[in-house]
């Protein structure tokens, strides 16, 4: 017998005690359902927090005269983009600039000079 059929048969019954008992059980069930839904939502939130906290955090590392962000050995990432927008953007490979050797960010156009061109 499905829950719907059971409810229907109880409602057709002339037994008022049975009807009251059924209503109490139905109320308890609804209360339990609310608790389960809240627990499922809370569990999903906790899982999200745990996943976020397990992701490797970008750490700053000194390279020549500048600092870059790295995630383990992955990088270097732009410091400005990360600190302003919490976004990781790779820097270019090392290049020569008028001021020296360094890298730049293609997103925010910041140039990082690691060592001066002067001998
Ligand atoms: Zn940038």
The CA distance from 12 to 47, in Å, is 46
Distance 49 CA to ligand 1 centre (A): 27
Full residue range of the structural domain in which residue 93 is found: 59-116
21 & 65 share domain: no
Q: What is the pLDDT of residues 68-93, one digit of tens each?
A: 999 989 999 999 999 999 999 999 99
49 & 64 share domain: no
Quick one: average pLDDT of 24-42?
A: 96
Distance 115 CA to ligand 1 centre (A): 19
Distance 95 CA to ligand 1 centre (A): 16
99 & 73 share domain: yes
> What is the pTM (predicted TM-score) of this model?
0.57
Distance 50 CA to ligand 1 centre (A): 28
Number of domains in the chain: 2
103 & 63 share domain: yes
10 & 32 share domain: yes
40 & 84 share domain: no
86 & 43 share domain: no
Q: Which segments of the chain does DSSP mark as H helices, in order?
A: 3-12, 16-54, 79-85
């Amino acid at each position: 017998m499905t829950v719907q059929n059971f409810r229907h048969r109880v409602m057709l019954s002339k037994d008022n005690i049975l009807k009251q008992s059924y209503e109490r059980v139905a109320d308890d069930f609804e209360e339990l359902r609310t608790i389960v839904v809240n627990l499922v939502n809370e569990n999903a939130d906790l899982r999200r927090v745990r996943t976020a906290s397990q992701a490797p955090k970008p750490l700053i590392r000194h390279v020549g005269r500048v600092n870059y962000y790295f995630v383990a050995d992955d990088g270097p990432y732009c410091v400005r983009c990360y600190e302003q927008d919490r976004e990781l953007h790779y820097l270019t490979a090392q290049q020569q600039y008028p001021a020296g050797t360094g890298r730049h960010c293609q997103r925010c156009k910041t140039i990082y000079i690691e060592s001066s061109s002067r001998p």
